[in-house]
A = this chain, B = another copy of it.
Amino acid sequence: MSLPPSVHRALVKIVGERGVSVERSVLRDYSHDESSFEPVMPRAVVKPDTAEQVAEVLALADRYRLPVTARGAGSSLEGNAVPSPNGIVLSLERMNRVLEVLPEDFQARVQPGVVYDELNRLLARQGLFFAPGPASGDVATIGGMVGNNSGGLNALRYGVTRDNVLRLQLALANGTLISAGTRALKSSSGYDLVRLFIGSEGTLGIATEVVVRLHGVPERRTAWANFQSPEAAASAVFEIMRTGIVPGALELLDPESVRAVNAVLGLAWPELPMLLMEFHGTPAAIREEGEEGRRVCQEAGALAFRFASDGAEREQLWAGRKAVNRAERTLHPGCTFVKSDVAVPLSHYAQAVHQAHSLAERQALKLMTYGHAGDGNLHTSTAVPSADAEALSRAEALVEGLISFALSVGGTATAEHGIGLAKKRFLQLEHGPAVEVMQALKTALDPNGILNPGKILS
């Protein structure tokens, strides 16, 4: 369904001719994210250059009850950025400037379209970094991270996006621009709008500027260990965290994940359950913590434990970890990937890993498990031939079983990918009557329901 000519004209008036695309090929490019959901063709793709333009587009959309789905890189995994039916996509890709780096305050002010890795390349020159560390950082944008409250490899020590944003400029459904938060490191001044909007997947407002909190690049010591079983590796994670050490990263890969990485990157990592860890701090602290990590892993039955000998080996280890998703896609063309992203309290992590594998066995599915083990986050992925509806439903049953387990021990259905479309059926199960509160907030801030309707809430 194409846009009414008057709306099209009004959009062009706001963002200019080159800011509105309605060509079929463009619409197709923006009709999906990295999830397996059926593409939904938007009626237009709008690419604003300024916050004011974003606000004006929303005001227009609100007047015409036009659904608006904000989009960063489109690398979300749960349908978060799949266009809402009969809506437009508002792509922030042109708003990709780093506006200000304030090294003395460990802060940077950026536009939402800035890519995570690019920001960090720039910051590295000043010995700083923006910490969360999404595995998809080569494409993920800061705005998308805000939308999904992205975590990542370094969230264990430094927190997720929600912990690392101080201030947001936001465009609201009614077309006003507000500034939420403060550049001070803490505040008790009114309601915490920053954290409310972070993770709202574009359903409450759209971030047009982001002040992120930075950290100094610490000394680092990287190590890996192999274990007999994924459960044994998971137990070692628990024991490491019990020491009180907070590693910079603590990641689990099961043999399936290692095999995929080896195949695609041409590596020869032992195809065994693997922990990848990194200690951050002063030289003395990471020496000490590294030894403690080794001791704990060995006591937990590690078959091997090795420190990366140099920067190149370190880079390769992390490149391998980050490639898991891509590797799986490369190895299984024509497949749909059914994923989960639960997190559980740490004492239940080994149990969650066990549960995932035994659910896979019961459903006769080949499973990949990996994830940010240190904060209890377990990713699973099952590759299913896209046409095989029966296998697909078994894969869904696996995810449902794992989420039920996570919720039964006080965990969450999604640690960092968000609810999107894929996890909506678990929202009520996880939050009960609190969903009505979420609905009331949504209605208060977006009474006409134009902001990414159908995501998170129904």
Partner of A190, one of B180, B289, B419: B419
Partner of A186, one of B184, B192, B287, B377: B377
A156-170: contact bitstring with B at CB < 8 Å (1 yes, 0 no)? 000110110001000
A435 CB-CB contact with B under 8 Å: yes
Is B184 within 8 A of A411, CB to CB?
yes
Complex alpha-carbon distance, A148 and B433, angstroms? 25
- Report the copy number of this chain in the oligomer: 2
User: Could you say which residues of chain B place their CB within 8 Å of the CB of A242?
Assistant: 104
Is B187 within 8 A of A343, CB to CB?
yes
Question: Closest B-chain residue to A187, C-beta based?
Answer: B412
Is B189 within 8 A of A413, CB to CB?
yes
Question: Closest B-chain residue to A150, C-beta based?
Answer: B188
Question: Closest B-chain residue to A433, C-beta based?
Answer: B178
User: Could you say which residues of chain B place their CB within 8 Å of the CB of A377?
Assistant: 184-186
Is B345 within 8 A of A432, CB to CB?
no
Question: Closest B-chain residue to A292, C-beta based?
Answer: B282
User: Could you say which residues of chain B place their CB within 8 Å of the CB of A155?
Assistant: 186
Is A187 within 8 A of B284, CB to CB?
no
- Whether A431 contacts B189 in the complex (CB less than 8 A), given A347-B104, A411-B182, A444-B441, comes out as yes
A344-366: contact bitstring with B at CB < 8 Å (1 yes, 0 no)? 11110000000000000000000
Is A186 within 8 A of B419, CB to CB?
no
Partner of A199, one of B162, B188, B430: B188
Chain B: minimal CB distance from A218 (Å): 7
8 A-B contacts (beta carbon < 8 Å): A104-B242, A184-B342, A184-B376, A187-B414, A189-B413, A195-B195, A281-B285, A282-B289
